[in-house]
């Protein structure tokens, strides 16, 4: 019961936080639009960095106790950035550590240090005079269709090839009950269909890359697509690698590659989850 309550509370807090943030953001935008005598959509012509570093600081500067609210605002932004960084880096660290445990078991600190240094050096380009343009390029291509494409491939792999029945049994082993028909239909059909539609739509209608009055050249769009593809292209590359190096005929290799290699987790009985403290 506690697991369900935690999931419900987390979802509600997340939704309510976004809802309340909308009140705060659009209240400030409306105030700035009234002050400048312009439309709301013209207050922040770029919906990204200019809203954060230009429009909001200007609004805070006109508040009573502006120094206090400015400190609170930017401390919040720092903590949000650190939280996102922790989550992103931990995913990479955990995946690589699980893949090479023998080599990295006693070198975790050095590996984490090397990863942080690489990320730091790679982000220095955002601190130059043209850093805002780099941020805009990454914002448009780095975290858009590429993440949706990864989610689409993951949904297909789990629900179609791993099998929705096997996946439901794994969930039952962990939670004690199977997911309902609604969730199964979403995983098998609805979610892949919506994700595929979003991917195709984004490819047929590429974004118009523009920051304020500067229009990006055509070659930068190509660079953006390369950046976006770099995060998920390893999935089809590994698929081809696995198909080529698996022994047997083409039909046998396809049969081997299209089924799970091993069981994800052993059978877990719910009784084993009722643990008592050690006296």
Q: Tell me the binding residues for Na(+).
A: 14, 80, 83-84
Own/partner pairs, 147-156, CB within 8 angstroms, 24+ separation: 147/231, 148/195, 148/198, 148/199, 148/202, 149/199, 149/232, 150/231, 150/232, 150/235, 151/195, 152/192, 152/195, 152/196, 152/199, 153/232, 153/235, 155/187, 155/191, 155/192, 155/195, 156/192
Binding site, by residue number, is 14, 80, 83-84
């Amino acid at each position: 019961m506690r697991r369900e309550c935690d999931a419900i509370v987390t979802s509600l807090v997340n939704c309510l936080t976004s809802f309340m943030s909308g009140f705060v953001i659009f209240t400030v935008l409306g105030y700035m639009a009234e002050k400048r005598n312009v439309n709301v959509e013209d207050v922040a012509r770029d919906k990204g960095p200019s809203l954060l570093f230009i429009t909001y600081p200007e609004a805070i500067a006109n508040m009573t106790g502006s120094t206090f609210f400015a400190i609170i605002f930017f401390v919040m932004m720092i903590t949000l950035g650190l939280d996102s960084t922790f989550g992103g880096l931990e995913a990479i660290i955990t995946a690589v550590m699980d893949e090479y445990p023998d080599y990295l078991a006693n070198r975790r600190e050095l590996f984490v240090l090397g990863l942080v240094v690489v990320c730091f050096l790679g982000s220095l380009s955002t601190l130059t005079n043209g850093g805002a343009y780099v941020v805009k390029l990454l914002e448009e291509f780095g975290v858009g269709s590429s993440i949706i494409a990864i989610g689409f491939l993951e949904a297909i792999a789990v629900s179609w090839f791993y099998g929705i029945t096997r996946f439901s049994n794994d969930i039952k082993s962990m939670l004690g009950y199977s997911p309902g028909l609604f969730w199964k239909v979403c995983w098998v059909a609805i979610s892949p269909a919506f994700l595929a539609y979003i991917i195709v739509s984004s490819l047929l209608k590429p974004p118009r890359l523009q920051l304020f009055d500067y229009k990006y050249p055509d070659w930068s769009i190509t660079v953006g697509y390369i950046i976006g593809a770099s995060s998920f292209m390893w999935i089809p590359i590994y698929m081809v690698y696995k198909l080529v190096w698996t022994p047997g005929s083409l039909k046998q290799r396809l049969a081997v590659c299209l089924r799970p290699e091993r069981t994800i987790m052993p059978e877990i009985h719910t009784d084993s989850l009722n643990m008592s403290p050690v006296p």
